Amino acid sequence: MTVTPLTGTSAAGELDAPLGATLAPSAGGNFANAVLDALQTAAVALDRADGAERAFASGRGGLQEMVLERAQADVTLSVASTAASRVSQALGTILGMQV
C-alpha cells in the first residue's frame, strides 16, 4: 500500500472548513425533511389503497389489486408508526439525561 501525503493541509489546530459550514445542514436535507417525506409516502400509499377499495366496490377493480394496495399501505403505516415511536423514545432518553 502506498500512502501519498496531502499537500496544502491546514496547520495544527485549524479547521479544514469554516465552523458555520460544518454545522450547516447538508444539501440532501435534514432529519425533519426525511420524516416528512416518509409521512407523505405513507399518505400516498393510503390514498392508493383507498382508491383501489373504491374501484373494487364499484366493480371497476380487482380483488387482488385491492388486497395488494391495502397490504402495502399497512406495511408503510406500520413502518412510519414504528419510526415515530423510536424517535419519541430517543427524544425521551435525551431529555432525561443529566447535564
Using CB atoms within 10 A of its CB, is residue 69 exposed (0-12), middle (13-18) or buried (19+)? buried
Query: Domain limits of the chain?
Result: 30-95
More reliable by pLDDT, 6 or 54: 54
Predicted confidence (pLDDT) per residue in 67-83, tens digit: 999 999 999 999 888 98
Predicted confidence (pLDDT) per residue in 9-60, tens digit: 555 555 555 555 545 555 556 878 888 888 899 999 999 999 999 999 999 9
pLDDT of amino acid 21: 52
Supply the pTM of this predicted model: 0.59
pLDDT of amino acid 93: 93
CA–CA gap between residue 16 and residue 63 (Å, rounded) = 59
CA–CA gap between residue 32 and residue 38 (Å, rounded) = 10
